[in-house]
Structure 1
């Protein structure tokens, strides 16, 4: 007897864009891209969604791995990318049936290696845009030029053929109870397999939809928090400017009131002198009246001119002060940049040498998993690792720190009447985006109490 040959599987890679599948190639061509021999300028400075396929000789998909790949400004693949696609495809769980039985599927929501989950993405299983159906149809077109193996008819050896007795040639075989039970058991087994396959497909679709909804909700929450913080900061700045303007106006009003009182006193004094002179003669009174009005008008004009000069001088002083402040701030920024450049010059050179040697900087943060930090993001990570991890989880830094305290010690944080902490063990929330203060970090009794107090 001839030995059965194991069917050969062809490895291929498919590129996705917003409209669907945009490029196909064999895995050998993809390795040339990873080695930097060939570049793809159409994907320059972007993160591209790809799918690794294993295809049999009948143009049927057997394994799929959905993953990300970054390209630099010249369209060359990330040199630090080292995802084990073949191992992921071989160890992946079962997926939908694309024509040759359930495939092996590795994606973000179904990853055999947990710390590789961040480099994978979930396919869309919607009826109007099904990524798996697009893969199946694209493979059937055979744009890759895969050698197709035709199905050969099975030939039986003459020695293995058995001829029934002559008396049973024309009589139909009787269906016994045992045969009926075997047939029913076989049909029930096939029905269970099909049902289990449909359940797995629906679970995968639900997991993908939940992941997409959570990421979208986290992005919306983060944008809302940032917008709220910016509005609060703008409101505080306007309130501060308003208080300063009110203080300036109050000072000017007080000064104007004092000058008015002095003018009134001077006028009253002049009026008394004029009445005293009226007793000595009308002519002398007219002279004094004219003299008084002239002096009064001169004083008023002099005072007005003096205040105008003071206001002009104050405006010039404010403009000069703003100019000096701007110059000093520019000098401070320049000195700070020089200090930062001097401080990070030696360390930056070492990091660049390590990056050129192929060293990849990977850190682990709860909730975000293992993060691959690009060289350009290392200063931002050094300034605030918690904020960097929070951004990767699509939450604010405050929410991430509160979730981290809960993650490290999942106990109730509510206070008892005695002033002590409840400290009752509670379920740990694994994702920062699902953490809600007052709900996730409290036991059911205190959460219910909190709701009753709020309703009251």
Structure 2
């Protein structure tokens, strides 16, 4: 924005973070921050590095003061902060030329007021991270929207200017006179430029020395803190050791006392135990004798009762045996009488039937129909199989085996207790032709 009014100097404040300019504001805005009218949330609970910059109407840097400022947890500036930035900008030593002649530079290594030195910081002048060049470029970019003078007045190049004394910087007439005499004083100008370069290098060296001293101070402080912590830890360990030793001695004394008391208690308990055991043995012996007397008395009473019961049972048993013998004798007599009566009645019936011409015929396998005479009827009724076997001229056992073969002609050879051969065979119709072990078995199991 072009300036149409009278040229005037402009004050700005720039905040640095991570080797770059993070925020820019005009000085009135910075005063509002100092008065807690405006908070800075992005700077909550931090110590920020800032730079006060004095800018001429042609957007060139004239003075720079590098300072620290603290912000609380709400983003408000430290109310006790009070650094005279304008005074430092006016009274600080010369710095490098940023396009409008050597600037006024206020920093830790070049502080006009010594007691403000701890609140200032030294800029980095290395080629990669030169804070002064960052400020110059930020001012030229005019991100703050400053009014500037872009008139086509004649200006001399920086290398053609002679470094005048501080009291003569703002005199345009004197600068013009010195410009006309520049050709005659080139040697002096070169010496002054060399002196300026040397001063800049000295400033940089001083800055580096200050930074190194700060780092050494930090390392010494850290070492002292660590050493103090180690000493404190050592003292605490010694105290703990002494406490532990005292505690061990106390515990040892307590253990000794407890051991003595335990020994006395053990002796007392052993004496009581022996007394109790003696008393217990006497009591047990008395109880045993009493129990034996009572047991003998109870056994005697029980024996007498059981003997009486046994005698009664013996009498009852003898009576029952005698009664059973009588009943058995009577039963035998009755059976004989019944058999005699039954035999007489059956024989009488059969005799009557025989007289009437009835013939008694029975049919059995192997003999077919046979006529049974009246005199053989009793034998046939008692043992029919034996009677039929005699008729077949074989034994009763052989007839029974043949009958089993006749009714079920299968091989009777045993494989085991539950399994037979069971092979079908030719049925033998005559008991006399039946051979045990041959006729009732297959060719494989026949007995030779």
- The TM-score normalised by the length of structure 2 is 0.47
- The TM-score normalised by the length of structure 1 is 0.46
Bigger RCO (CA 8 Å, 6+ sep) = 1
